[in-house]
A and B are shown apart, each in its own frame.
Chain A
Amino acid sequence: MARQNLVGMVISQGKMNKTIKVRVQSLIYNSRINKDVMSRSDFVVHDEANVCKEGDVVRIEACRPLSSSKRFAVAQIKSNKGQEWVNYMKEAPIMVAQQEQEKIRLFNQAREHRIAETGKTVLDKLRLIEAFELGKASNEVGDAQKAQEQEINQYKQELGIKSWGEDSYKIKLGLDKLKAEAEAQKLKVKVLEFIQNQPGKTNEILTSLSKNPQDIKLNIKVNILKKYFSQTGLEL
C-alpha cells in the first residue's frame, strides 16, 4: 500500500534532537455551512540529519512508530526558505553595525560643524582669556598669543569682563550666586528688625529722602531702606 504523503511548513526546530514540528493545512468541506474551511494539523516528524530549518516547506511520509508521537519522517525539502531566514539572521547584525557606524560618524560630523559655526562655548572663551592674562602677568607672551589679542578683547567685551582678577571666572559663571542671595536675605531681616525697633529713625531717614512715611507700605519701606544702607554703607 502506498505510504501517506503530506506537504507542510516547519514551525519548530532545534528543540528536540532529530525531530521537527510540521504544520499541514488543508481545505475541508463543511456541509453545515456549505463552505470549504481551512483546517490545520501539526505533526511531530523525524528529521535524521537535522537539516530542516524553521520556515522550510517539506514533504513528509508515514513510517513505523518512531516514538510515542512520531509517525512521520521527512522525505523531501520542497523549498529551503528557512535556510534563507537563517542567512538573513546572520547577515543582519553585520549590516546594522556598518550602517550605525556610518550614521554615528555623520552625526558627530554635524555636531562638530555646529560647534564651529556657533563659535566657542563660554567656558572655552574664559579659558583662553585666563591663559592670556596669566601669560601677560608673568611676561611670557608668545607670538601666537599676541596674534590672539584682538580676538580675546572681543570675547572680553562679549562676556562683560573689564579686568582679570583671581575671582573673575567665579563671578561670570555665577558660582557666588548663592552666597549673594544669602547675604541679601540677611540684610532684609536686619532692616525689618530696624523698622520694628526704631520707628523714629526710619521716619527720619524716609523724610530725608523726601518721602511721606505714612503713605508707604511696609515692603516698600524695606526696599527703600535696603537700598539706602547698601549705598551709604552705614551700619545697622
Chain B
Amino acid sequence: MFKNSLLKPFTQLVVPIVSRPTPLVSTASSNIRLFHNSTINSNQIVKQQPIKLLSRSEKRLRSILRVRGHLAKKIANTKDVEFVDPVLGKPNTSFIQRLDAYIKTPTNMSFGHEFEETQKLIYGAEQAALKRAKERNEDWMYQTIIEEGKRQKEAVKRIFDLKNANNDASKKLAVKFAKTEFERFEGDSGSSEVQAAISTVKIHFLAKHLKENKQDLSNTRKLSELVHSRRKILGYLKEKDPKRYFFTIEKLGLDDSCVTGEFTLSRNYFANVGFFGSATLPARIPRRERNKRKAIAQEEKMARRYGATHLGLDI
C-alpha cells in the first residue's frame, strides 16, 4: 500500500499531504520494525527530477567517481591504529625500564644472596674472632683480624657480584622481581599475570640474545613458543578476570591486539620491526599479493586526489 505510492511519484505530487495513506509502522510497534522502515518517511514529499539521458561512457564515469568518492570518505574517516610489537611490546614501557635498572644495581648478588646480609655475616665473624682473642689475651691479634675482615668483605663482594656471574643469574633475579610485582599474595607464583610477567622477562632476555646471534634458529623457535604461550595465558586471563587482564597487558606494554590478533614469528615480522638492525632481510611478499597491493595503492592515490579536489576532504 505504502510502497505502491512510492512507485507512483507523479500521482503523489497531485495528492495533498493530508489525504496520503498513513504509514504501516505505528509508534507502538517494536523498535526493530521502526528502523527497518527508517528510510521511508511519511511526511517527505518526493521531488521529481527531470529525466536526463546519459551516454554509456558518462554512466561508466559516474559509477567510477561514485566508488572513488566512497573510498575517499573512508580514508578520511579511518584513524591510524598504533602498531604494538607482539614480542617486545611498546617501547619505553616503565615496568621494563625499571626491571633493567634493578638488574644493574651494584649491590646485586648472584645465588640469591643479599648484599647487606653478607656484610652483616662478615661483621659477625669478625666480632666473634675479636672476642676469642680477648679471652686468650692475644692483643696483638686485633689488627690482623680487622684487616682480615676487610679482605673477606672485598673477596665476598667480588665472588658474588652479579657482574661476574653469567646471564642466567641476572635472569633469575629479573624473574624474582617480576614475580613480586604481579603476585596476588606473598609467594604467589602461579596466577596468570605472574606467569605472563615471567614469560615477558624470558622473552626480553631471549630477544636480546637473538639480536646478537641471528643464526641461532633453535632459540628463535623457542622465542616463538614463549610468545604464543604468553598469548594463551593472557587469553585465559581475559576470559576469567577482564579487569586484571587489561591492567596486566597495560603494565607489560602490550595491547589487546597482541593477544587476540594473528601472529607468526616470521621473516616478514623481523622485516617489519627491523629486528636485527642493519642485518635484517627485507620482507618476502608473493607476486600476486604484491600486485594486489600495488593496485590498491593506485586506487587510494586516485581517491585521495579526487577527495581533495572535488569533495573538499582534508587527506
Q: Which residues does A use to contact B, with CB under 8 Å?
A: 46, 48, 55, 61, 63-64, 66, 73, 75, 81, 84-85, 88-89, 91-93, 95-96, 99-100, 103-104, 107, 111, 114
Contact = CB atoms under 8 A, between A and B. Distances in A.
Indicate the member of B102, B242, B256 with the most A CB atoms within 10 Å: B242
Given A48-B35, A88-B242, A96 B98 contact: no
Interface stretch (B18-26, B199-207, B243-251, B285-293): B243-251
10 contacts: A63-B36, A66-B36, A84-B242, A88-B242, A88-B245, A89-B246, A92-B247, A92-B249, A95-B250, A114-B107
Contact of A61 (B32, B94, B246): B32
Q: Is the interface of B mostly helix, strand, loop or mixed?
A: helix
B250 A96 contact: yes
In this complex, the member of B32, B98, B107, B243 whose beta carbon has the largest number of chain A beta carbons within 10 angstroms is B32
Contacts, number: 53
Given A85-B242, A100-B94, A103-B98, 16 more contacts: A48-B31, A48-B38, A61-B32, A64-B36, A73-B32, A73-B35, A75-B30, A81-B242, A88-B246, A88-B247, A91-B243, A92-B250, A96-B94, A99-B251, A100-B95, A111-B105
Nearest to B35: A48
Contact of A75 (B32, B107, B251): B32
Nearest to B33: A63
B279 interface: no
Interface of B: 30-32, 35-36, 38, 94-95, 98, 101-102, 105, 107, 242-243, 245-247, 249-251, 256
A73 B247 CA distance: 34
A104 B98 contact: yes
A100 B95 CA distance: 7
A108 to B, nearest CB: 10
A48 B31 CA distance: 10
A85 B246 contact: yes
Nearest to B115: A114
- Tell me the dominant secondary structure on chain A's binding face: helix
A75 B122 CA distance: 75
Of A66, A96, A103, A111, most buried by chain B (CB within 10 Å of CB) is: A96
Contacts of A95: 247, 250
B237 to A, nearest CB: 12
A55 B32 CA distance: 22
A233 to B, nearest CB: 36
A122 to B, nearest CB: 13
Nearest to B94: A100
Given A95-B247, A96-B250, A96-B251, A89 B256 contact: yes
Contacts of B38: 48
A88 B238 CA distance: 11
Contact of A104 (B94, B243, B245): B94
A73 B245 CA distance: 31
Nearest to B252: A96
B105 A63 contact: no
A158 to B, nearest CB: 12
B101 A107 contact: yes
Contact of A88 (B94, B107, B243): B243
Contacts of A48: 31, 35, 38
A92 B102 CA distance: 24
A96 B32 contact: no
Residue of A81, A88, A107 ringed by the most chain B CB atoms within 10 A: A88
B201 to A, nearest CB: 16
Contacts of A100: 94-95, 98, 251
Contacts of B246: 85, 88-89, 91-92
